[in-house]
Amino acid sequence: MATVSSNLAVLELANNPARADNVAPTDTKALKHHTVKPEHHHPIVGDRVIEGNGTSKYAWQNWQGLQALPRLNIAKRFAPHQRVCIFAPHPDDEILGCGGMLQQLADNGNSILLVHVTNGTQSHPDSKIYPPHTLDVIRPQESLAALDALGITDQVTIVSLALTDGDVFAEQDQFNEKLATIIKPDDVLVTPFTRDGHPDHEATGQVVAAFAKQHNLACYQVLIWAWHWAKPADTRIPWHSAVRLDLTAEQLARKAQAIACFASQITVDESTGNPPILSAQTIARISQLWEVYLYESSF
């Protein structure tokens, strides 16, 4: 996944509004350069803008609506023989969104196909430490280390679609063509929410959800950046379709260890002075004893 707005280096959205590895930035520098409209509407994600520190983890923890969501039981909902395909717009989204589900799928005996839609090469503009050609190697390696931290490496196969980081919306046709070559008739698909708030996340969600509907495949949409811009009971999220996956303390601890493997995303870029892509608030918000997925047969 990618990152937090105020903690992101400003990405060049002026000429290409889809250009953003991890988030649609809306800090003061972005506003100054007119990359985001003053009313905080992004040309692609609209009012689902990732800015500031976002909604606190405590607000979500204290929301009774979240406590009342029906529980997702992996053993009951996923047959052990089924392959589950997890789509990550950038290497790390699979852990941030699905670190708990990945462990439970492995425990359930499911084989897992991890699809890196891009290699997240645009997360550090102008960086001398993390130029695109370096990130092209580092970020997939960080993903491998994270899977090892979860203890599930043997059950995961990784496929890289090598789409352009920040331009997934513009490459939907290529995306669909690649899906047709890798998805099998009985696969279960897991993708970011179609309105998750990051252009690449929304493009990935929309392409995968449409493919699933066309081929009558089960599809789960995971909330990742939505936890940042949304508020409890936010009407922009279809909570009636939401299910909650509860994690054990051990599973959460392993998820935290996996997140720590993404050094490029959690450390200061000394060459630019920019703070970590993933802020402490972002990591805290995503490191809960639950994950939330949206599921409807019509997806």
pLDDT at 46: 85
What does the DSSP assignment read for 24-93?
---SHHHHHTTSS-TT--BTTTBT----TT-S-HHHHHT-HHHHTSPBP-HHHHS-TT-EEEEEESSTTH
Rounded Cα distance, 147 and 212, in Å: 25
Nearest to 162 by CA among 91, 261, 266, 219: 91
Buried b (16+ CB within 10 A) or exposed e, 108-136: bebbbbbbbbbbbbbbbbebeebebeebb
Q: What is the mean pLDDT of residues 168-185?
A: 96
Q: Poorest-confidence range of 17-21, 63-67, 173-177? A: 17-21
Strand pairing partners for 46?
Answer: 42
Tell me the per-residue pLDDT of 92-127, one tens digit each, with 9 for 90 and over.
Answer: 999 999 999 999 999 999 999 999 999 999 999 999
Q: How confident is the model at residue 159 (pLDDT cuts 50, 70, 90)?
A: very high
Whole-angstrom distance between the N-terminal and C-terminal Cα of the chain?
22
Rounded Cα distance, 61 and 162, in Å: 37
Q: How confident is the model at residue 187 (pLDDT cuts 50, 70, 90)?
A: very high
Burial class (CB in 10 A: 0-12, 13-18, 19+), 67: exposed
CA torsion angle for 11, 17, 21, 27 (degrees, to 10)?
Answer: 50
129 to each of 13, 93, 132, 136, 162, how far by Cα in Å?
22, 22, 10, 13, 22
Tell me the per-residue pLDDT of 66-95, one tens digit each, with 9 for 90 and over.
Answer: 999 999 999 999 999 999 999 999 999 999
* Cβ 247 vs Cβ 291: under 8 Å: yes
Rounded Cα distance, 31 and 137, in Å: 32
Stated pTM of the model:
0.86
* Cβ 213 vs Cβ 207: under 8 Å: no
Angle at 274 between CA 279 and CA 197, to 5 degrees: 50
The mean pLDDT value of the chain amounts to 87
Nearest to 21 by CA among 71, 93, 75, 115: 93
Percent of the chain scoring above 70 in pLDDT: 85
Q: How confident is the model at residue 38 (pLDDT cuts 50, 70, 90)?
A: very low
